[in-house]
Amino acid sequence: METKTITKDNFPELVEIYRQGLATNIATFQNDLPVWQDWDKGHLDFCRISIYENNEMLGWTALSPVSSRCVYSGVAEVSVYVATIARGKGIGEMLLNELIKESELNEIWTLQSGIFAENIDSLKLHEKCGFRIVGYREKIGKKNGVWKDNILMEYRSKIVGID
């Protein structure tokens, strides 16, 4: 296995994995596939991590800013997606652990994830990687006309922002 930075060149592979996530109806409120320009603008320039085996992307993770206000400069929202063929093989755990390390190198003190309440695998993955539940959002948004509850989880760095 090797990790690679997500770039415009490997973005089509990211989109395919994202499409697989969309198909589950429990991964995101989005229904459309992203285009590079929008995805690039919406994600931080660092922590764009993909994992490969035999030249095939098996998963990816990236960070989005939660706010443009300077007080939240060290807080970011996590996206993590694993290809259908690679689920249950520890890929998500490898990605999240690498994301935590890289985020701390880039002065991020809090990572947050909003996860559909029925996405049990994602909730367990985040918990395994040190995230904790900090909130429950009832009917926070609709997915295909159905209200969805969202579990808010966060990881608080033990080395960044501890002063």
Q: What is the pTM of this model?
A: 0.95
- pLDDT (0 to 100) of residue 58: 98
- pLDDT (0 to 100) of residue 163: 84
Show the 3-state SS of the chain.
CEEEECCCCCHHHHHHHHHHHHHHCCCCCCCCCCCHHHHHHHCCCCCCEEEEECCEEEEEEEEEECCCCHHHCCEEEEEEEECHHHCCCCHHHHHHHHHHHHHHHCCCCEEEEEEECCCHHHHHHHHHCCCEEEEEEEEEEEECCEEEEEEEEEEECCCCCCC
pLDDT < 50: residue spans in the chain: none
- pLDDT (0 to 100) of residue 22: 96
- pLDDT (0 to 100) of residue 162: 87
Domains plus CATH for the chain? 2-156 (3.40.630.30)
- pLDDT (0 to 100) of residue 138: 97
At 30-61, the pLDDT tens digits run 999 999 999 999 999 999 999 999 999 999 99
